[in-house]
């Protein structure tokens, strides 16, 4: 028997079992698994956002490991981004599918990681913070 959201309640597992498909539950598990290992997860598309919302309900700290690759033109994607309080790396009005937003966002993430891990600090570079 199909049930409506109000009949299901707000428990994440109940919502997934009653309203979500297996792919959304798998995505939620993937996001929670990444967060448990302190690995960022790049989100792409409205289905991934649905999984991320479920993950956020199951493990609220997992949101800190979510990266929104782009903002899909699907209205649900914007609603999910707002609910998760995530800003997309790119906003190109994409509606292509096949992970194209993630493919475009990945070099930005890679560059950010490289800057964080390899760029010298002022102290390392011998730059004085004193005004001459």
* Among 82, 93, 98, 118, the one annotated catalytic: 98
Q: Which whole-number Å values give the CA distances from 107 to 1, 25, 57, 68, in the listed order?
A: 45, 28, 29, 13
* DSSP code at position 63: G
- 98 counts as catalytic: yes
**CB within 8 Å of 80: residues ≥ 6 apart:** 46, 49, 50, 52, 53
Catalytic residue numbers, as ranges: 98
């Amino acid at each position: 028997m199909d049930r409506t959201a109000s009949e299901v309640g707000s428990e994440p597992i109940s919502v997934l079992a009653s309203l979500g498909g297996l792919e959304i539950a798998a995505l939620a598990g993937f996001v929670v698994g990444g967060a448990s290992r302190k690995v960022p997860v790049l989100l792409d598309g409205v289905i991934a956002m649905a999984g991320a919302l479920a993950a956020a309900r199951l493990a609220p700290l997992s949101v800190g490991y979510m990266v929104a690759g782009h903002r899909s033109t699907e209205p649900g994607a914007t609603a999910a981004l707002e609910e998760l309080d995530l800003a997309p790396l790119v906003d190109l009005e994409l509606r292509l599918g096949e992970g194209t937003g993630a493919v475009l966002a990945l070099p930005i993430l890679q560059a950010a990681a490289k800057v964080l891990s390899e760029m010298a600090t002022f102290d390392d570079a011998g730059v004085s913070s004193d005004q001459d």
